[in-house]
Amino acid sequence: MGFFPEAREHRIRRDAGIGSTIFKYCVRGAGWCELEGRRFEVGPGDLFVLPQGLSHAYGAYPDRPWTLHWVHAMGDEVPHVVRELGVDGRNPVVRLGQSPAAVGMFEEVHQELAGACAPHNVLFASQLLTHLMGLIIRLRREALRETPDAHQRVRASAAYMRNHPERTRDLGTLASIVGLSSSHYAALFRATTGHSPKQYFTRVQIARAEQLLSTTGDSVKAIAHRLGFDDPLYFSRVFRRVKGMAPSEWRRLNKIG
């Protein structure tokens, strides 16, 4: 599996297909896919599925290159997933919508396989992939029932921040995930949560830092790096601004055990 950011030159053709089923989730930009000679458009929030053994091709539009999360999967359960999604040779593209949760799950599986592929890493990644496939099926069903409005997508992005406090996102990336311009996203986020996206995520990070300070023996420097702060001194200043005391002092007063 992997991730292609703004893949301008991305173009593949396999006339004989391959031995795995391909799942590709577009989060930005646009492109196309062909399955058994039929061509389909792909845009943000679309998942296209290319079943194993079928002739296929796909590519990004040069003026709007897509950003894709992708996985090639094999196994006895894959045909069940394909059937649940309603995918066949006449309909390889399914609408999931802009889902920060799906992006997060793709990233988790990718991160698990990015290092050493020891048996326990592969086993854990396979279980994460099962979770991801279940999420994709649920998103597909929800998309068939209704299209979430912008406020719902903003709330979903806030939930993504809470669930992934260790993954820093810039405003443009968060906005693109939910299909909004940066200015529109920032305004809706403040209206929905009472905070700017940056303020909200900072509070999420500090809440996670509190948990780590009280329950682990990790150093303040290690916790800072874990939460995406390159400069531990800056992390300490942010922590003090939010909590009114230094991380070390907060730990002394709140350490568990």
Say whether both 175 and 225 belong to one domain. Answer: yes
Residues 96 and 44: their CA atoms lie apart, in Å, by 9
Residue 8: what pLDDT? 86
Average pLDDT over every residue of 80-105: 87
Is the pLDDT at 193 greater than 90? The verdict is no
The answer to pTM > 0.95 is no
pLDDT in tens, 235-244: 999 999 999 9
Say whether both 117 and 11 belong to one domain. Answer: yes
Q: Which of 80, 108, 84 is nearest to 94 (CA)?
A: 84
Q: How far is CA 9 from CA 2, 6, 63, 65, 216, in A?
A: 16, 9, 10, 8, 46
Say whether both 167 and 245 belong to one domain. Answer: yes
Q: Read off the CATH number of the domain in which 53 is found.
A: 2.60.120.280
Say whether both 50 and 158 belong to one domain. Answer: no
Say whether both 20 and 143 belong to one domain. Answer: yes
Is the pLDDT at 170 greater than 80? The verdict is yes
Neighbours of 63 (CB within 10 A): 8
Full residue range of the structural domain in which residue 211 is found:
153-254
Residue 202: what pLDDT? 92
pLDDT band at 148 (very low <50, low <70, confident <90, very high): low
Q: How many CA atoms lie within 13 A of 163 on its CB side?
A: 14
Residue 10 structure tokens: 């991305």
Say whether both 158 and 134 belong to one domain. Answer: no
Which is more confidently placed, 172 or 238? 238
Say whether both 84 and 186 belong to one domain. Answer: no
Q: How far is CA 124 from CA 28, 97, 164, in A?
A: 28, 27, 18
Specify the DSSP class assigned to residue 121: H
Average pLDDT over every residue of 159-184: 83
Residue 257: what pLDDT? 65
Is the pLDDT at 116 greater than 90? The verdict is no
Say whether both 166 and 247 belong to one domain. Answer: yes
Say whether both 107 and 225 belong to one domain. Answer: no
Lowest-confidence segment of 47-61, 113-127, 135-149 by average pLDDT: 135-149
Tell me whether residue 153 is exposed, middle or buried, using C-beta atoms within 10 angstroms of its C-beta: 0 to 12, 13 to 18, 19 or more.
Answer: buried
**Domain end residue (candidates: 147, 167, 198):** 147
**Domain end residue (candidates: 147, 165, 199):** 147
Say whether both 32 and 110 belong to one domain. Answer: yes
Q: Read off the CATH number of the domain in which 188 is found.
A: 1.10.10.60
Alpha helices, DSSP H, located in 25-73: none
pLDDT in tens, 9-68: 899 999 999 999 999 999 999 999 998 888 899 999 999 999 999 999 999 999 999 999
**Domain end residue (candidates: 127, 147, 167):** 147
Residue 91: what pLDDT? 82
Q: Which of 145, 49, 44 is nearest to 98 (CA)?
A: 44
Say whether both 97 and 170 belong to one domain. Answer: no
Per the structure, the count of domains in the chain is 2
Residue 146: what pLDDT? 57
Is the pLDDT at 214 greater than 60? The verdict is yes
Residue 147: what pLDDT? 56
Q: Between vectors from CA 87 to CA 82 and to CA 89, what angle results, nearest 5°?
A: 120
The helix/strand/coil state of 160 is helix
Is the pLDDT at 149 greater than 80? The verdict is no
Residues 112 and 188: their CA atoms lie apart, in Å, by 33
Say whether both 119 and 210 belong to one domain. Answer: no
Helix (H) / strand (E) containing 242: helix 232-243
